[in-house]
Amino acid sequence: MALRNDFLWGGAIAANQVEGAWNIDVKGMSVADVASYKPALDVKDYAGHNTVTTKMIEEAKNDESTEFYPKRRGIDFYHHYKEDIALFAEMGFKALRISIAWTRIFPDGEEEQPNSLGVNFYKNVFEELKKYDIEPIVTLSHYEMPLHLSDKYNGWVDRKLVDLFVKYAEVCFKEFGPYVKYWLTFNEVDSVRRHPFTTAGVVEDKCKGYSFEKAIYQALHHQYVAAAIATKKCHEIIPGSQMGCMLTKLTTYPNTCNPEDVLLALESNLDNHSHADIQVLGEYPPLYKTYLKNKGILIEKEETDDLILKENKADYLALSYYMSRTESADPTKEQAAGNTVMGVKNPYLPSTDWGWQIDPVGLKISLMELYDRYRVPLMIVENGMGAKDELTSDNKVHDSYRIDYLREHIREMQAAVDLGVDLIGYTSWAPIDLISVSTSQMSKRYGYIYVDQDDLGNGSLDRIRKDSFYWYKKVIASNGAELE
């Protein structure tokens, strides 16, 4: 079975990691603008490095530099978008996943009227995509909420955020509806649990009268409700639109057939799926409700919340997939890193330079599992390999390791489609080098296009085609038939 003829081949980027221009054209500060450079991030301790305090935020606000806050400069997509989109078009992209920076539309999140300069920027981007027939897939919130809302309300802990987000979403639907059919609400909504500040603006030392843990689950609930209301508005405002939800697919294996290992893996997978259950099936799963109850966490809900979730389910399920993880009941087992998660080292899998375990078959397993469970179309909206690239003296990047990674994942993706999985697109992360979310490094490169910039922001910002650029072009032209 071949991929569908209208298969959405392309790439995915996020505003906070590419745009730069953090303080111009009335843009407000976002949570990404205070994310510092962490070159020495210990991949064995992601959790510790995700702690964000009010003091750290205040220090960042008083520091104008972009050197130690690299997401402020990104790769200057704000001024290079025409050049970048032309390169994506040269590769034959059918789709580009981008996100809208909420702070360009509502700088503080609470203004009465949207910022017309921000609206115009995205209209220009969409016009440019239209020129090349590239379908935009747009995420409304990808780790870039207004910092003001974190400061004032402790982010999504406060119900007020639901209304503010819906207001922002409505502006996007009205302004960009003529260009955009495919939408996503929250990037990796599950990540509120792993990095609550980045995803939901929640800061531990601001939790007064409630626990940090309660704050996280409450924030998540508000995001589910906001996503459901946004889905309703999207359908009303843009006829024929498709609203997806997005999950970090963290497929977990048992380390052995010891039932204790199997149970741990099951719990981890159920936990991961619970976020999609709420958005695609429209309700909190029973086991998850009991889990929260046993933890003593009472989520504050409004009377109509359950109905809102039930009536406004996601049209499709989008996922990011980078690696798999393994659980063991034996605490002495060697650990391995992953996408802001840890797990037991899997002896069958190689790892990237950043210690993420490479598992193409895990993608096939993930797609089978998700399609069997949810029966809605799936879209892979992130998959890729962060690596250290070397630019040769004749301006080439021979990134065969990236080609190998992507080839094997695409092969397994196709195998899942052969088994009957309804898959509508594949946008790899990221088609162009950008600033890493977890470490804010530039040197953790994902692109088919090399960007001449180092970790401290030195470089010409020139765009250079890597070997993988030409490879991916052939893959798209052959609709996935030519992978070698």
Give residues in contact with ligand BG6 (CB under 6 A): 14, 17, 187-188, 248, 320, 339, 382, 386, 429, 436-438, 444
Instruction: State which residue, 268 or 436, has the beta carbon closest to ligand BG6.
Output: 436
Q: Which is nearer to ligand BG6, 427 or 436 (CB)?
A: 436
If the CB atoms of residues 236 and 454 are measured against ligand BG6, the closer one turns out to be: 454
The DSSP bridge pattern shows strands 95-99 and 135-141 to be parallel
CA 32 to each of CA 144, 222, 248: distance values in angstroms, whole numbers, following the listed order: 5, 21, 19
Smallest distance, Å, CB 322 to ligand BG6? 6
Cβ neighbours for 120, distance < 8 A, ≥ 6 positions apart: none
Question: Among candidates 50, 77, 205, 210, which has minimal Cα distance to 143?
Answer: 50
Of 469, 465, 481, which is closest to residue 428 (Cα–Cα)? Answer: 469
255 vs 427, beta carbon nearer ligand BG6 = 427
Cβ closest to ligand BG6, residue 317 vs residue 437: 437
Element (H, E) at 327: strand 325-327
Residue 194 beta carbon to ligand BG6: minimum distance, rounded to whole angstroms: 10
Taking the C-alpha atoms of 187, 444, 476 and 416 in order, what is their torsion angle to the nearest 10 degrees?
A: -60
Q: How far is the CB of 112 from ligand BG6 (least distance, A)?
A: 31
382 included as an active-site residue: yes
We find the least distance from the C-beta atom of residue 152 to ligand BG6, in angstroms, to be 25
Q: Is 352 exposed, middle or buried (0-12, 13-18, 19+ CB in 10 A)?
A: buried
Active site residue: 144, 188, 327, 412, which one? 188
Phi, psi of 378 (to 5 degrees): -110, 155
With CB atoms as reference, the residue minimizing the distance to ligand BG6 is 438
Distance CA 269, CA 174 (A): 37
Of the candidates 222, 270, 215, the one whose C-alpha atom is nearest the C-alpha of residue 247 is 270
Other C-beta atoms closer than 10 Å to the C-beta of 124 total: 12
User: Looking at 144, 175, 327, 382, which residue is catalytic?
Assistant: 382
What's the closest the beta carbon of residue 429 comes to ligand BG6, in angstroms?
6
Which residues are identified as catalytic? 188, 382
